[in-house]
Structure 1
């Protein structure tokens, strides 16, 4: 069965961002390790992120522009990060976060469906 170029990139970007969010922020929880260890461990996790991000962009570019793919990636990154920060790091989202995310969503709207040409 062929991969759906509309849906597959979104799913791959979600997985990709889960890896990258953990690589960048996972070391903030628990006992601090030496910086060199955190960098090497994060780099190792990020290696797997590329196995999802690169195919997502390659498959998605069949039907989406590069700007649309980048916008999707950023919106997915925020959604994954918001969940990660609440569920893994135990941080709270505030109204300011939600307002900021809303502005980013408005920007995404203009990339995909904006009325200006």
Structure 2
């Protein structure tokens, strides 16, 4: 089964972003649980898996016809899409309309980057 370049790229970027969101923000759940340097080492270990997914995603996407700017905007959309549920579910943050406004700004960014 051959997956399209778009599906491969976006799928890998979603998976990589889940790892990176956990690496960057997961340790904030309980700041007193471990010293910052332990959290940093654990985060660094988690980030390794992010890079093992993100690097091939960008290589596949770039070789498959996405421009550098398109890859970056795709990543930003995925970042917000992963971050908002993470913030609400894992970090117990309330939903804010600012999430919606940020998403709408990204819709505009997608339009301008992909229109040509």
- In the superposition, the TM-score normalised over structure 1's length comes to 0.90
| 1:90 counterpart residue number | 92
CA RMSD of aligned residues (A): 1.3
Rounded to whole Å, the distance in 1 between the matches of 2:43 and 2:6 is 30
Matched, 1:71 2:112: no
Rounded to whole Å, the distance in 2 between the matches of 1:101 and 1:45 is 26
| 1:55 counterpart residue number | 56
Q: Structure 1 unaligned runs (5+)? A: none
Does the 8 A contact of 1:12 with 1:53 survive in 2?
yes
| 1:10 counterpart residue number | 10
CA displacement at 1:49 relative to structure 2 = 0.3
| 2:29 counterpart residue number | 29
Q: Structure 2 unaligned runs (5+)? A: none
CA displacement at 1:105 relative to structure 2 = 1.9
Rounded to whole Å, the distance in 2 between the matches of 1:18 and 1:12 is 10
Task: Give aligned pairs, total.
Answer: 114
Q: What secondary structure sits across from 2:6 in the alignment?
A: coil
- In the superposition, the TM-score normalised over structure 2's length comes to 0.91
CA displacement at 1:98 relative to structure 2 = 1.2
Which 4+ runs in 1 deviate beyond 3 A?
none
Rounded to whole Å, the distance in 2 between the matches of 1:91 and 1:17 is 19
Q: Structure 1, residues 17-56: CA drift from partner, whole Å, max 9, x if none? A: 0000000000011352201011111000000001110111
